[in-house]
Amino acid sequence: MTSRTALMLVAVPVVLAASSSTAGAQAWLPARGDGAVSIVYQDLFDKYHQTPGIGKVDNGPTTSRSMLVDVTYGLTDKIAISFGIPWVAAKYVGPSPHPLADLSGPTPRFYGATPLDDGTYHGTFQDLRFDIRYNLTKKGMVLTPFIGTSAPSHEYVTLAHAAPGQHLKQLQMGVSGAKMLDTVVPGLFVQGRYAYGFTEKALDISHNRSNIDLEVGYFVTPKLRMMALGAGQLTHGGIDMVLSPRLNLPASQFLHHDQITRINFLNLGGGAAYSVTERIDVFGSMVRTVAARNGHLIDRGLSMGLSWSFSARRGKGRAIAQAEQSLAKCVCTKSAS
């Protein structure tokens, strides 16, 4: 398998469950006038919270199921844009539902239990995501800087185990890289990304984030790829979680604790992708949290998806584009909370 053939066929995203990035920006871009529509289903299950100095705390299991529709389009041979929005449905079954909040007074007051933590699924749209990527080079290593944004699509509850997200605006800047390693092992490739996220403050507490994704893959056949996956997050700022936060945090911090907690994690797993036709790819992965500071520990993170490529070109231009394109896809999920 030549490097050129492999580049044409690498159409799988870094499928990483519970990455809080706005988009899984890829180094390979579609040609001008070409693009891809991706549909990704994700099922995340966790039982434990990680609390510094204590370790795993069993507060009852949370399950989150999401569906992401993402569209990527090549404006030029070097510039591509992507946008998408996920639908998230989550449920919490446990003895410690979050309370309702009364914000009518000078300080928040809490009572009862939020309907989101009643043991049934509650679904809604989460955050709108958009990014733009510029390919610097395709010789040797492919390098593609990007800038992306995410913003809540509407008002939604964040004080709940089954909250759909963190309801925070974020601006991300970073770079994606990819390289074929045919000289090491024919059919081997590696791609990854680093992103720094400038995250909207809550209670004037800074909690920007660094995210690193890595994928090492191998072409078992020209149509089948297997991958080892990793995703990590480091939060710059924020607060550590404590036992019984409703009692041991100030009322204002408890109200926003899912937004201001210092969440660090490392998720590892594996996946596969298969080219059904020249235009249709299917892919899937499974990941698990292996290390964390605060936040939920993923026991099982399953992702499955399909991507369909398209071309706005006709005739000869379309044929050339099909010969040179490599798809760009995006997977995002509910931010860890």
pLDDT tens column, 172-203: 999 999 999 989 999 999 999 999 999 999 99
Nearest residue to 116 via CA among 95, 97, 94, 96: 97
Q: Is 2's pLDDT higher than 60?
A: no
CATH code of the domain made up of 3-300: 2.40.160.40
Q: Is 335's pLDDT higher than 60?
A: no
Q: Where are the domains of the chain?
A: 3-300
In sequence order, the 6+-apart residues with CB closer than 8 A to the CB of 298 are: 17, 18, 44, 45, 46, 267, 287, 288, 289
Q: With contact defined as beta carbons under 8 Å apart, do 50 and 75 qualify?
A: no
Mean pLDDT to the nearest integer, 286-291: 96
Mean pLDDT to the nearest integer, 297-325: 73
What integer pLDDT is reported at residue 59 of this predicted model?
87
Mean pLDDT to the nearest integer, 4-17: 41
Residue that the structure tokens 């995501």 belong to: 129
In sequence order, the 6+-apart residues with CB closer than 8 A to the CB of 264 are: 232, 233, 234, 235, 292, 293, 294, 295
- How many percent of the chain have pLDDT more than 90? 77
In sequence order, the 6+-apart residues with CB closer than 8 A to the CB of 113 are: 97, 98, 99, 100
Q: Give the phi and the psi of residue 177 in degrees, each rounded to 5.
A: -135, 150
What integer pLDDT is reported at residue 337 of this predicted model?
37
In sequence order, the 6+-apart residues with CB closer than 8 A to the CB of 63 are: 43, 44, 45, 90, 91, 121
Mean pLDDT to the nearest integer, 130-155: 95
Q: With contact defined as beta carbons under 8 Å apart, do 99 and 108 qualify?
A: no
What integer pLDDT is reported at residue 21 of this predicted model?
43
What integer pLDDT is reported at residue 314 of this predicted model?
62
Q: Is 19's pLDDT higher than 70?
A: no
Q: What is the C-alpha separation between 191 and 183, in angstroms, rounded?
A: 16
Q: Give the phi and the psi of residue 108 in degrees, each rounded to 5.
A: -65, 145
Q: Is 321's pLDDT higher than 50?
A: no
Distances (CA, A) of 135 to 20, 70, 80: 23, 20, 9
Average pLDDT over the chain reads 86
**148: region left, alpha or beta (phi > 0 left; psi from -120 to 50 alpha):** beta
Using CB atoms within 10 A of its CB, is residue 173 exposed (0-12), middle (13-18) or buried (19+)? middle
Q: Is 248's pLDDT higher than 60?
A: yes
Q: With contact defined as beta carbons under 8 Å apart, do 214 and 21 qualify?
A: no
- pTM of the entire predicted model: 0.86
Residue that the structure tokens 């995340």 belong to: 44
Mean pLDDT to the nearest integer, 210-224: 95
Q: Is 152's pLDDT higher than 80?
A: yes
Q: With contact defined as beta carbons under 8 Å apart, do 233 and 213 qualify?
A: no
